[in-house]
């Protein structure tokens, strides 16, 4: 009988998904720095090398450009690959391969060549890592035709989305959040998949819609709980994948509540929050009761100082305060 209430970490949920999929599909090969015997900088491949060995868990030097190109080339030739950039920041070393080669290959080849490669990276601010290790530029990938982009916010979603990502015909950019790796949640032991393009209603409410991604989902939930005590019923939505995007569930909620707030760890200008506001304007214009609001990180590089970084990134207090301003109108 399945243990429905088993609680494991976000990183272990990823390991479990990988183990299941690597057992199911013996063509899957995992490439990256420190992902072999070490089990990953974030313990994100813990124990896999012991089971699958050097052939399928391929440790590399520090050379993301080459490793990513090799992973894409192998995928083009019929081997499903995962390339772990470890920190999403380091994907910048390999960005030409991801954007120019992986994203374009299906189209450029008229659908004859697919590149089933999963580009994995962990984003976001954690423990004051400073400007080089804290970026959240997931919106850049979402702006590139040919890439699918997953942003799991819970251990449950990590497992279900990872397994779906490893059955996609083409490239997926799978972005976890560094500060979530040790978070815990209920993850069924049995197999399940979460379809791409299916948003999760984290909390139902009638007064406003809050959309948040990745770590911001937790902040949005906490803010919604605080607002509920003050008589404001916020509906919280996590898109889970931003490409493809569950436009229907998002717009249904906005039409219901008439108010939209987006919480985004990226800066607001040209970001994914702006995309969601544009969708609200296009699809829900007559239903909006207030101007939609973006609550984003300030447009500065991640500062090292804890005081400054906390000032930069959205907080529960900021969300609650901004929602109050909106509800007063």
Partner 1 sequence: MTERVAEQIDHQLLLEHYKKMLELRVFEVKVQELYRNGMLPGFVHLYVGEEAVAVGVCSNLEPADLVFSTHRGHGHALAKGVPAGVVLAELWGKVTGSSGGRGGSMHMYAPEYGFMGTNGIVGAPIPLATGGALSAKLRKKGQVVVSFFGEGAVNSGSFHEAVNFGAVWDLPVVYVCENNLYATEMAFSRATKNTSVASRGDAYCLPGVEVDGQDVMAVHEAAKQAIHRARKGGGPTLIECKTYRFVGHHEGDPGTDYRTRDEVQQWKQRDPLKCSRKLLLDSGVDEKELQAVDQEVESLIDQAVEFAQGSSEPLPGSVNDHVF
Q: For partner 1, which is the closer residue by CB, 121 or 292?
A: 121
**Which residues lie closer than 8 Å to 117 by C-beta, 6 or more apart?**
71, 72, 74, 75, 80, 81, 82, 83, 102, 171, 172
Which of 272, 289, 173, 166 lies closest to 216 in space, CA to CA?
A: 272
Q: Shortest Cβ distance from residue 133 to partner 1 (Å)? A: 21
d(CA 208, CA 258): 6
Q: What are phi and psi of 77, to 5 degrees?
A: -95, 5
Q: For partner 1, which is the closer residue by CB, 98 or 254?
A: 98
The alpha helices in the chain, defined as continuous H runs, are 10-24, 48-56, 64-76, 95-96, 103-108, 138-142, 155-165, 215-229, 247-257, 272-283, 306-312, 316-328
What secondary structure letter does DSSP report for 204?
-
**Number of residues that make up the chain:** 329
Structure tokens at 302: 């991640």
d(CA 219, CA 310): 13
Q: For partner 1, which is the closer residue by CB, 108 or 281?
A: 108
Q: For partner 1, which is the closer residue by CB, 40 or 146?
A: 146
177 is catalytic: no
Q: Shortest Cβ distance from residue 218 to partner 1 (Å)? A: 30
Q: Shortest Cβ distance from residue 20 to partner 1 (Å)? A: 20
**Which residues lie closer than 8 Å to 311 by C-beta, 6 or more apart?**
298
The catalytic residue among 132, 133, 177, 324 is 133
Tokens 């803010």, residue located = 223
Q: For partner 1, which is the closer residue by CB, 21 or 235?
A: 21
* Residues near partner 1, by CB under 8 A: 27, 29, 55, 58, 60-61, 63, 65-79, 81, 96-97, 100-101, 104-113, 145-146, 148, 169-170
Q: Shortest Cβ distance from residue 109 to partner 1 (Å)? A: 4
Which of 68, 90, 85, 73 lies closest to 34 in space, CA to CA?
A: 85
Q: Shortest Cβ distance from residue 65 to partner 1 (Å)? A: 5
Task: Return the active site residues.
Answer: 133
């Amino acid at each position: 009988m399945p243990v429905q209430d088993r609680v494991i970490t976000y990183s272990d949920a990823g390991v479990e998904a990988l183990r299941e999929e690597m057992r199911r599909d013996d063509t899957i090969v995992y490439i990256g720095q420190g992902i072999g015997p070490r089990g990953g900088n974030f313990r994100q491949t813990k124990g896999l090398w012991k089971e699958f060995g050097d052939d399928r868990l391929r440790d590399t030097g520090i050379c993301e450009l080459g490793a990513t190109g090799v992973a894409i080339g192998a995928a083009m030739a019929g081997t499903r690959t995962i390339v772990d950039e470890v920190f999403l920041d380091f994907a910048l070393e390999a960005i030409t391969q991801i954007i120019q080669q992986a994203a374009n290959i299906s189209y450029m080849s008229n659908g004859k060549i697919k590149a089933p490669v999963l580009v994995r990276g962990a984003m976001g601010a954690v423990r004051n890592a400073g400007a080089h290790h804290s970026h959240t530029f997931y919106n850049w990938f979402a702006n590139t035709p040919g890439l699918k982009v997953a942003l799991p916010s819970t251990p449950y979603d990590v497992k279900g989305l990872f397994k779906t990502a490893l059955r996609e015909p083409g490239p997926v950019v799978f972005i976890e959040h560094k500060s979530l790796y040790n978070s815990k949640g209920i993850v069924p032991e049995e197999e399940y998949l979460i379809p791409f393009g299916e948003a999760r209603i984290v909390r139902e409410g009638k007064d406003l819609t809050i959309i948040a991604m990745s770590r911001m989902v937790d902040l949005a939930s906490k803010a919604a709980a605080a607002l509920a005590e003050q008589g404001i019923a916020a509906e919280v939505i996590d898109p889970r994948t931003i490409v493809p995007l569950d436009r229907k569930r998002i717009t249904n909620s906005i039409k219901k509540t008439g108010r939209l707030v987006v919480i985004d760890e990226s800066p607001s200008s040209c970001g994914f929050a702006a995309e969601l506001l544009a969708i609200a304007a296009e699809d829900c214009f007559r239903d909006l009761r207030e101007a939609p609001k973006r609550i984003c990180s300030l447009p500065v590089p991640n500062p090292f100082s804890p005081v400054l970084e906390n000032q930069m990134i959205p907080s529960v207090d900021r969300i609650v305060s901004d929602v109050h301003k909106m509800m007063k109108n």
